[in-house]
């Protein structure tokens, strides 16, 4: 579409956006097993507390601090009928925008994006607003997630209650 073809190595924002939209679609469809396949086995999924968004999970309390094992357990839990807060599941809408590719060198890429995640369940609506920080790795088939961190902008969780869903 342009006269000058991009360099082979360059990663475009559009490629990143396509990947993030596909991830969001898996979450909204509750295809969590497929969603988990996006993660590398050394990956992390983190959600800091609202009053410490820069938290380091080695020293500070987090809302979520999953390595791959616990992330897989979280998926298992949410797939079961015994995660009572999410059975039946909420209807969610993960919206991703303001995507910025911070470091695009080589096959590793850092990405920040804004999100709103809407959650509807039993007549109640909740909205999570914040910033994603991703570390992605490019391989032959596309991208894989090395780290996903969701930093919430709300000052507390009073309006949403919990983070039982995956952001």
Footprint of other proteins (CB under 8 A): 47-52, 55, 57-65, 69-70, 73-74, 76-77, 80, 82-86, 156-164
**Coil, helix or strand at residue 75:** helix
Least CB distance from residue 130 to other proteins, whole Å?
A: 13
Instruction: Name which of 153, 163, 131, 133 is nearest 145 in CA terms.
Output: 133
Helix or strand holding residue 144 (H, E): strand 142-152
What 34-39 contacts at long range (C-beta under 8 Å, 24+ apart), as own/partner pairs, is 35/75, 35/166, 36/71, 36/72, 36/75, 38/143, 38/144, 38/145, 39/68, 39/71, 39/144, 39/145, 39/148
User: Following CA atoms 124, 20, 57, 153 in sequence, which dihedral angle do they give, to the nearest 10 degrees?
Assistant: -50
Gyration radius of the chain's alpha carbons: 16
User: Is the CB of 6 or the CB of 123 nearer to other proteins?
Assistant: 123
Q: Are the CB atoms for 55 and 63 separated by under 8 Å?
A: no
User: Is the CB of 8 or the CB of 84 nearer to other proteins?
Assistant: 84
């Amino acid at each position: 579409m342009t006269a000058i073809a991009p360099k082979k190595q360059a990663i475009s924002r559009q490629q990143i956006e396509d990947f993030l939209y596909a991830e969001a679609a898996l979450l909204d469809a509750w295809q969590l097993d497929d969603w988990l396949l996006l993660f590398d086995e050394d990956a992390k999924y983190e959600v800091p507390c609202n009053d410490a968004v820069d938290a380091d999970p080695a020293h500070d309390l987090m809302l979520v601090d999953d390595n791959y094992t616990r992330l897989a357990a979280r998926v298992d839990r949410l797939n079961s009928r015994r995660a009572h807060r999410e059975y039946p599941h909420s209807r969610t809408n993960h919206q991703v925008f303001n995507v910025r590719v911070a470091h695009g060198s080589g096959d590793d890429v850092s990405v920040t994006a804004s999100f709103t995640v809407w959650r509807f369940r039993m007549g109640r609506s909740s909205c999570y607003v914040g910033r994603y920080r991703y570390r992605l790795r490019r391989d032959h088939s596309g991208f894989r997630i090395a780290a996903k961190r969701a930093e919430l902008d709300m000052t507390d969780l009073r309006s949403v209650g919990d983070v039982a869903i995956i952001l």
